[in-house]
Amino acid sequence: MRIYTFIFLIFCLISCKDKQLAVADYNELIHYKSDTLAINETDISDILSGEVIQNISDTLIIDQFTESGFVKSEVNESDYIKLHQVLTSNQNTKDNSKCLPIYRDFLILKKKNKTVGIFKICFECSQLNYIDTFSNEERLITDENSFELINILGNL
């Protein structure tokens, strides 16, 4: 009987560990960053709050990002692996933050010119929200991963 209790406890501990975030397969990665000089945050408050993009089919607003004061840049393929590791790290927790995120950075994952995933990122709160066909998951980014992400995206 004790062996079953011990095995049950081990199983519980293993299953409670945060897993890596599963991300859709993509071949193009686009970064949108709000331009604080060209943007009027009250006009685009729905975008910054993340309310406009709730699921993967909400892509019409993405076409209007540049008109709304976002700067568009393509991420180099050489950064895909490092970026993937940072965003999907199991060190990023599922705990909720007390901060209300303001998403000033968006990563759009595309495959064959079709949006397959969207990352909404708030560096002030260290939060990211990932949306694809199957999931809508929020995570807190560790400080180390946040700095790494800033370094990768800051070089664009």
Amino acid at site 39 = I
Neighbouring CB atoms inside 10 A of 58's CB total 14
Place of tokens 């064959």: 112
Q: Residue 146 carries which DSSP code?
A: H
φ, ψ of residue 28 in degrees (nearest 5): -145, 140
pLDDT of residue 13 exceeding 50, the answer is no
Beta-bridge partners for 108 = 30, 118
Q: Residue 93 carries which DSSP code?
A: B
| pTM score above 0.85 | no
pLDDT of residue 72: 92
pLDDT tens string 51-97 = 888 888 877 788 888 888 889 999 989 998 898 888 888 787 876 66
What is the pLDDT averaged over residues 5-31?
63
